[in-house]
Amino acid sequence: MPLSPSFLKSVATRLGFAACGVAPATPVDEDVAGGFRRWIAEGRQAEMGYLANNVEKRLNPTLLMEGAQSVVSVALNYYPDRQLDPSRQYEFAWYAYGQDYHDVMKTRLAMLAEILSGETEGGTHYRVFCDTAPVLERYWAWRCGLGWIGKNTQLIIPHAGSAFFLGEIILDRPFTSYDEPLPSRCGTCTRCLDACPMQALSAPYELDASRCLSYLTIEYRGDDLPAEAVRAMGNCIYGCDRCQQACPWMRFARPTRVEEFRPKSQFLSLDRATLQSLSADDYRQLFHGSAVKRAKYEGLMRNVRAAAPKE
């Protein structure tokens, strides 16, 4: 028995998701698949070798789960209601203000999937994903009608912006109808490209991760940041939101209502001196359950040292 997309979306809204859509579980469009293969072949993924693994699974959801018929995509708002003060504090990317999104998203996705399963005789076989498996998340968010992929490669939701975590459910049931992708509404705007301090966006929709400050301050494991990155990073020691901040669609962003993503007072009170003298034990305690742990203690302190001389 096919599932109802309206029921899916009503439950998703009740669970706090800002947007939800569904698409048939078919292979990724050929032009997108070709673009991804080219991006990998050119080494644009930098040292994130995992992105070059399981390419065929990444491009075909039926290889991720036997019997897959539908892909559900959801978005969870992380735009902070309060922000750090760059005049006296180091900056962190907005997504790292609260708890690690992987656990928060997967818990809600599992709840959504279980409710859907309860609507079918005999239940539903499903898998949930959030940035931990070979899934083209932004592609599926676009394919499911949540928004369009902007020139900064971020998923932009109409009248909401791009400060959203994305998650997916692949399940073995069809829906009575499916959502349609949205056309781009970026027009001739290039503010995101102009705002990138490292010119990581070499052209619209073209990201070179090796030049991206988010990659360099989080994923890159070198002992020292490249000199060009040190000059460009300014006050930001974890991630970079500049291409998002420059996007006109971000004027519609509203603070998250997800309690887990609201920053704790301890985080908001962090000053530069505290971070400059942070011990490994302090780091583990302060960032317990936080996405900041992705950079590891050594990586964060490397970034602090790089930013400190510019005070």
Residue with the two structure tokens 């300014």:
234
Query: Catalytic annotation on 81?
Result: no
Q: Catalogue the long-range contacts made by 8-13 (C-beta closer than 8 Å, 24 or more residues apart).
A: 8/72, 8/112, 8/116, 8/175, 11/112, 11/115, 11/116, 12/74, 12/112
In the set 131, 172, 224, 282, the catalytic residue is 131
Name the residue among 144, 175, 3 with its Cα closest to residue 75. Answer: 144
**What's the first-to-final CA gap in the chain, in angstroms?**
63
Cα–Cα distance between 37 and 32 in angstroms, integer? 9
Residues in contact with 196: Cβ distance below 8 Å, sequence separation at least 6, in sequence order = 152, 212, 242, 243
**CA pseudo-torsion sign 213, 140, 134, 108:** positive
Short-list 145, 168, 167, 169, CA closest to 156: 145
| Residue among 31, 91, 105 nearest 236 (CA) | 91
DSSP string, 131-167: SSSS--HHHHHHHTTS-EE-TTS-EEBTTTBS-EEEE
Does an H or E element contain 105, and which?
helix 101-117
C-alpha separations of 13 from 21, 106, 147, 214 in Å: 11, 16, 16, 30
Residues designated catalytic: 131
